Amino acid sequence: MKTPSHLNALRAFEATARLGSFKAAAEEIGVTPEAIGQLVRTLEAYLELPLFHRSRGGKRLTPSHEALSVLPAVSEAFRSLTSSTEQLKRLSKSGMLTLTAPPSITAQWLIPLLPKFLQEQPEIEVRLDITERLLDLNAGDADIAIRYGDGRWPDLQTIELIHNEQLIPVCAPALYQRFPEGFDLDALLQQTLIHDTTLDHTDFPRWQDWLAHIGCSHYGNLKFIELNASLSVIEMAKTGQGVALAREQLVLNDLAQGRLIRLFPEHALSSQRNYYIVTPRQTSPAAQRLASWLQVQLTP
């Protein structure tokens, strides 16, 4: 019991105490209930201390007072061991990096940029995981993420790229040209207003917030259309099907190339969100190089 073999017994004890039975602990660990029971009995013999009170029939186990007193520390120790193992796993894969980002950021920033990085760093391979989900970087699901949000991701390192992004109304030049005397508020209220619902699970501003921001509270029956994909919102505006309330950073190229027109430039609305590079607190040298390179490329 003085060798590392006691870790198996401690693991069996921790799972049993947390889950309440040898059977549940066995299912979690991947062994038989008999093996879990033997490990727990071995630990009790070594400690000369009963760790569980057996109910009648022995199916339900109640941790003893002594077991409960140490259970939080043992559970935390195994969580720490699991985290350290995942960190070693990430560090061992120094030549292959997984970079995750939403589709909009991937299309606007990463796809144009990554060939340059791969040319400069040919020894590093990059895999893109394109998803709106927030992958668990500390569990090894990805090495680096580019996220759009408030920057509050506990236990992760963040590098702010763009501060206080604005939401701006945009439309196609053909739609704008229908109003040669000026695209005013009355013209806007006649259009279909395109809304991006990607972040509707948060307090992300909507068209009604932008209208309130400019002091417009009486606007009758407006026509809205909602899409749950930022790129589709932009494409719909580019084809002249309405006016989109767009994230400024996602339409800069379209504005510069004349594919979109910015409306009411004096009335931008803060999104209260920014763009960040996010990494685990412990990461590989290759991941650090990619994060630093992206910071240089993406910071205005």
* Mean pLDDT, range 76-104, rounded to an integer: 74
CB-CB contact of 153 with 281 (8 Å): no
| Residue 22 and residue 36 in contact, taking contact as beta carbons nearer than 8 Å | yes
pLDDT at 20: 86
pLDDT surpasses 60 at 270: yes
pLDDT over 90, % of the chain? 51
The amino acid sitting at 274 is N
Give the Å distances, CA to CA, from 295 to 156, 224, 300. Answer: 16, 37, 9
Residue 238 — φ and ψ, nearest 5°? -65, -30
| CATH topology classification for 93-164+274-298 | D-Maltodextrin-Binding Protein; domain 2 (3.40.190)
Q: In this structure, are strands 192-196 and 269-270 parallel, antiparallel, or unpaired?
A: unpaired
Judge whether residue 3 has pLDDT over 50: no
Phi and psi for 81 in degrees, rounded to 5?
-65, -40
pLDDT over 70 for what percent of the chain?
92
Q: Where in the chain is the domain with CATH 3.40.190.10?
A: 93-164+274-298, 166-270
- Report residue 221 CA to chain centroid gap: 36
What confidence tier does 28 reach under pLDDT thresholds 50, 70, 90?
Answer: confident
pTM: predicted TM-score of the whole model, two decimal places: 0.65
Q: Could you count the other beta carbons within 10 Å of the beta carbon of residue 189?
A: 16
Q: What is the pLDDT of residue 56?
A: 62
59 pLDDT band, cuts 50/70/90, is low
Longest dimension (CA), the chain: 91
pLDDT of amino acid 154: 86
Fold type of domain 6-91: Arc Repressor Mutant, subunit A (1.10.10)
Phi, psi of 157 (to 5 degrees): -90, 140
Q: What is the pLDDT of residue 2?
A: 46
Instruction: Reply yes or no on whether the pLDDT at 291 is more than 80.
Output: yes
Residue 57: the pLDDT is 57
149: tokens are 């949000």
- Residue 259: phi, psi to the nearest 5? -80, -20
Confidence of residue 5 (pLDDT cuts 50, 70, 90): low
pLDDT at 11 over 50: yes
Angstrom distance (rounded) from CA 210 to CA 187: 16
CATH of domain 166-270: 3.40.190.10
Report residue 124: phi and psi, to 5°. -110, 130
Examine the pLDDT at 88 and tell me if it is beyond 70: no
| pLDDT attached to residue 282 | 86
Chain mean pLDDT for the chain? 88
Q: Which of 81-90, 179-188, 231-240 has the lowest mean pLDDT?
A: 81-90
- The set of residues, in sequence order, having a beta carbon less than 8 Å from that of 178 and lying 6+ positions away, is none
Is 75 strand, coil or helix?
A: helix
Strand 96-101, strand 61-63: pairing: unpaired
Using 50, 70 and 90 to split pLDDT, how confident is the model at 6? confident
Enumerate the CATH 1.10.10.10 domain ranges in the chain, comma separated.
6-91
Q: Over 60: is that where the pLDDT of 192 sits?
A: yes
C-alpha torsion angle, residues 97, 152, 299, 257 (rounded to 10): 90
pLDDT for residue 36 is more than 80? yes
| pLDDT single digits (tens) 196-247 | 998 877 788 999 999 999 998 877 788 999 998 899 999 999 999 999 999 9
Which pLDDT score is estimated for 164? 81
